[in-house]
Every structure is written in structure tokens, then in C-alpha cells.
Amino acid sequence: MTETAQPPYPAAEFGDGTTDPPTIPLPPVPADGAPGGPSDGPSGGPSDGSSHGPSHGPSNGLSGLETRDLTAWFGQRKVLERVSLQMRAGEITALIGPSGCGKSTYLRILNRMHEMVRGAALAGEVLLDGEDVYATGRRPAEVRRRIGMVFQRPNPFPAMSLYDNVISGLKLAGIKASRDERDHLVESSLRQAGLWDEVSNRLGTPGGALSGGQQQRLCIARSLAVSPEILLMDEPCSALDPTSTRRIEETIAELRHRLTIVIVTHNMQQAQRVSQSCAFFLASHDTPGRIVEAGPTERLFTSPADPRTADYVNGRFG
Amino acid sequence: MTAAVQPTETRVPPPEADRPRPISAPASPADRAFRGLLRAAGLSVFALMGLIAFFLLLRGTEAFDAVGWSFLTEQRWRTAAHSFGIAAVLPDGILIAVIALCIAVPVALTAALFISEYAPVRLRPTLISLVDLMAAIPSIVYGLWGLFFLQPRIVGFCRWLAVHLGGALPFLEVRTGDIATSYTSSTFIAGTVVSLMIIPIITSLSREVFSQAPAGEREGAYALGSTRWGMVRTVVLPFGRGGVIGAVMLGFGRAMGETIAVALIISPVFRLSWHVLENGGNSISSLIALRFSESDSLSLSALMAAGLVLFAITLLVNVAAGFIISRSRSGASTSD
């Protein structure tokens, strides 16, 4: 099972051809069995500099996310083991795998939601632009503002108006804005989330009055309003009908150029449709979740290196 | 399949076919028996309430007949002279309840928020049972504590209030001279003691609704970069608002009915006064407790009549509280 820590694909296959050398010295690699060098394994392989230097990387100032040897526990139970993955700036990374494989836990670790669960613990690093989000003294609220999240069940503030829902993040994060700025922000966020045309004439109605799909897009708009660098989506369409799902997928595709997206999905077709990179998680009853294989979505679906990946993406289990 | 559907679409349906058909859902004998039992129990509560009201009305009729409408406007309580009414005791009792609420609500709400949102999870059950324990202390104990412990110690504070703020806020003025007994046995002290008795119920109910604030919305707030206080303000407080209002009203109802502690502390005065720090005050329930030993039938009837008024007010407040709780999001069981 060593391939879980060092997935069996070469670095060149994962990257999109950018060959910039790392521009920021990498933090020391953990000594215990981590990938040996920057060109070996998922943490080193794709780290060709694109995520470490947003200002001078190839990705138009967008931020990337990376985890190194991430292990997570709930109490005594280990749910994730040594997950190293690069989520490239400006890309949509899909996390796939059967239920209970730890992908939602992984996602919640990325923006420090994991630690709010009682008994939750973790080891390893989550690097946002090369800086550990779990560094001592770093506030979770600041991390969460930069790494937004959309949940499985739409969770707008039901009694709050649509307008206030969109700008709620500003108030919560203590960001001041003038009336004009807020008006502008509400419109642009709702437009980006693909909801503006449907609600522009009733911004005063409460968030709870929308349909499920609209609520979810409202939640996306709400997340976008605080201009996060990363957007995490935890099965954002699993509670929605196919039409709403399609609208959300269109929204996600349009957002790709504005921020980096990591999406957990159970839907193979969705992963194929929206993502550029893909990571396949797998756990069994006695082993914690690990990444079996990660790489460009197309390759993972057409010529997976691991037979288990092939079985899963072809619907033979899970 | 289509052949079966086709005719019904083309044929004009007979007018009676569109009517809803009767649906019968016969309950099993066990269900019927249980439902009957519950219905009897539920109705007996209403019956009991009705009987109490009827009893008070019956016994109070003599007093109502004796003084008529002046029962509601007369401040004095001289049954022998056929001159008595609740115009002093009722507002005084409300005043005690309002003072109790002024002290209890901030304490209870912050305690409830602390327990449900801030206290370490391991400590929560202990804190909850401590608050519940507070409600289990007999009110005579609170009364004795108020009389022998609190009063001698709070008089200084009362005096300070009267001297420094009495000029600006007339209701804090004390006009009976600056001696120690001017400040004892006041509405304010009685209200302070009563506040301790209504803190548990307000805390308990508020904590309950706070803890029901949906986890999804909490996480939504946190995921936007909210601090804990921001989350509480945006999710927990709006969610719990209806429940809190209901809890406060229930507390008010209890404060209105609180008897023994008030009877112990207050020195009864049958003259309406808004000067809460002054010696003397009253409430219907303490009036009943203190005068119940009077044997003559008109006096008893007058007390019953006063009790009926208190009963009606408390009932009204509680019904309104229940209505607000059930209409609010936090109280409605269908909310998610």
C-alpha cells in the first residue's frame, strides 16, 4: 500500500506542462517516509511553482492548495492517512470515492472546519500559497474567509433577505463596505453564482423562500462575496434535482477562471464534466482513507493506473 | 398502457367522479385506547383550569357584589369598611415582576448562551443540572435568604442608587428620609429575590432553543470566516428569538405569582407608589398569603376575587407566551 503515499504516476503526467522550478523554498519535508524529492509523489510532483507564487506563477494570480501527509482522526479512529495532494491554482479538482472514504473529512480539514468536531485531530500540513493554515497563531476565521465552503445541504440564513444573505460574510468577517459597494457586490456575486436574473427583482425576500437549487446558488454567491481564493464544495448537488444540478455545474465551470475549486462528488459524470484534476479516495473497514490515484481527470477516467480506480470510475463498485 | 390512459383523457368525466372519495383509516384497538387515555388526560388539565377559575369566581362573587367596579380602582384594602380593591396591589405586583425581569433576563440569557455556545462540552451537563437545581430550591428558602442575608447587604446599594440617581430618575427617589429602614422591605429588594427564582426557567428554555439552532447554518456562518460571536449573532440569536420571548413571558408569569418570598420581604402598603426603593410595596399573591387567616367571609371573598384577577393575568401571559413560542421557528417542530 505504499502507493497511497506515493501514487504511481510520474509528475509530468499530473502537471499541465508548466515547468517552472519552485520559486519559494519548500518547507522541510517530513522525515518519516514522505516523498523523497520535489519530482516524486503528489506533494512534490505537481508542485512546479504554480501554487507557490501566485503573483508570478502561470495561474493569473490565483492561489493553490496543497496538503502534505495529512492524517486525520476522530477520537481513536483514524479516518485519513498520509494524504498528499496538490490542488492547482485555477483548476477544479474533484475528489471522488465511495461513501466513508474520508473525502468530506479531507475537504473540511482544508478550511479548518474539521477541528470543530469533537475529538477531531490531525497531522500533516495544509498549505495555502505555501503557508500552513494550521500554523500556530493563525486564526481559523481568517483561513475560512480565504477558503470558502459550500455544503451538501443548502444552508442560507433562512430569515435573512437575499440581499443580506449575500453580504452576510462581510458582516461576519467584520469587513466594512459602503452602500454602493454592497449593492455592487450583491449583484456581481449573484451574477457569478448564476442567480441574479431569477432574483434581482426580489432581493428583499427571505433566503428560506427560494427553491433548493436557488438556495444552493445563493450559498455560492454568499461564499463568493467575501472573495475567497479557494472554494470548497462538499457534494453541492447531491440534494438537488437534475436541472438545478446542471445550473450549478455551469456556475462552477464559469467560476473556474476566478478561483480555485475543490469539489467532492459521488457523481462520476459530474467529476468528468467539471473537473480538470481528480483524486480517488478509498478506505476499507480496517484501513483509513487514502488517495489511490490522483491526476488529470481525463487520464483517471480513460486510463487509470490502478485497477481499483478503473473499477470505481466504471461503476463496478462503490 | 396508452390504451388505458387514452379514453380517460378524451372522455368528459362524469361530474361526480371529481369529488374526493371518503378515506377511512380505522385505528387499532390499542391505538384507540391509548388515544382515549391521552385525550382524557389532556382534557382533565383544561377541566382543572376551568374548575379553579369557577371556584375563584364563585367565592369572589360576594366581594364583587359588595364593591362592584371599584374593586378595580380602589387602592385601599379595608374589608370591614367595604372599601377595597386591587388598584395598588396589582400594579405593585407587576412592578416587582418587572424588576425581577430586568435583573433575570440579562443574567439568564448570557448564562444560556454560555452554556449552549461557549462552555466546554464536558462541563455542560453539570452547568445544566446546576441551573435546574436552582429551580428546585423552595421559594421560602429564597425568601429567608433575601430577608436575612441579602437585605442587610443590599441596603447600601439601594441608598447609593437613591442618592446618586434619585434626582435624575424619579422612580429611584426615596422620600421617606435617609435612615436605614427607609430602604428595607422595598419593591426593589423583593424583585431582586424573585429574579433568582425566575432565572432558572428563563435560562433553561433559552438554552434549549439556542442549542437547537441548525448545525448547517452554524457551519455556514463559520465557513464565511465568522467569529463565534458573529455566528451567535447571525444564527443562534435570530433562531432563538421567539423562544426567548416566550421564556421571558413565562418568567414574568411566574414572577407575578411568586408569593412567599415577596410576603416575607415586603412590608405591605396599600398605596400605589412607583418609588421602587422605598420601604413598602405589595403584590396580590403576598396579600393573599398574609391576609388568608382573616376569618370573616367578605375578607376571604375579597382575596378570592383578587386571586381570580391574578389567575386571569397569569393565564393570559402564559397563553401569549405559548403562542409566541409555537409561532417562532425555534418552537415549531416542523422547522429543520
pLDDT in tens, A46-64: 434 343 433 334 446 788 8
Interface test with A, best of B117, B218, B219, B224 (most A CBs within 10 A): B224
- Quote the pLDDT of residue B221: 94
Q: What is the mean pLDDT of residues B289-303?
A: 86
- Quote the pLDDT of residue A275: 94
Smallest Cα distance from B119 to chain A, Å: 13
**Contact (Cβ atoms closer than 8 angstroms) between residue A296 and residue A278:** yes
Asked if B222's CB is within 8 angstroms of A158's CB, the reply is no
Q: Which amino acid is at B44?
A: S
Asked if A113's CB is within 8 angstroms of B222's CB, the reply is yes
Q: Flag whether pLDDT at B267 surpasses 50.
A: yes
Question: pLDDT-based confidence at B217, cuts 50/70/90?
Answer: very high
- Quote the pLDDT of residue A47: 39
Smallest Cα distance from B239 to chain A, Å: 8
With H, G, I as helix, E, B as strand and everything else as coil, classify residue A143.
helix
Among the residue ranges A79-88, A138-147, A308-317, B188-197, the one predicted with the least confidence is A308-317
ipTM value of the model?
0.78
Q: Flag whether pLDDT at A22 surpasses 60.
A: no
- Tens-digit pLDDT profile for residues B60-112: 999 988 888 889 888 888 888 888 899 989 999 999 999 999 999 999 999 99
B220 vs B231: CA distance, rounded Å: 9
- Which residue in A142, A145, A157 is closest to B234 by CB distance? A157
B77 vs A165: CA distance, rounded Å: 58
**Contact (Cβ atoms closer than 8 angstroms) between residue A84 and residue A5:** yes
- Quote the pLDDT of residue A30: 41
A63 vs A54: CA distance, rounded Å: 6
- Quote the pLDDT of residue B110: 96
- Inter-CA distances, B317 with B105, B261, B326, Å: 16, 21, 14
Question: pLDDT-based confidence at B175, cuts 50/70/90?
Answer: confident
**Contact (Cβ atoms closer than 8 angstroms) between residue A190 and residue A165:** no
Smallest Cα distance from B225 to chain A, Å: 4
The residue behind cell 428583499 is A204
Question: pLDDT-based confidence at A238, cuts 50/70/90?
Answer: confident
- Quote the pLDDT of residue B52: 94
Q: Which amino acid is at A164?
A: D
Q: Flag whether pLDDT at A302 surpasses 80.
A: yes
- Any idea what DSSP says for residue A58? S
The half-sphere exposure of B202 on its side-chain side, counting CA atoms within 13 A, is 29
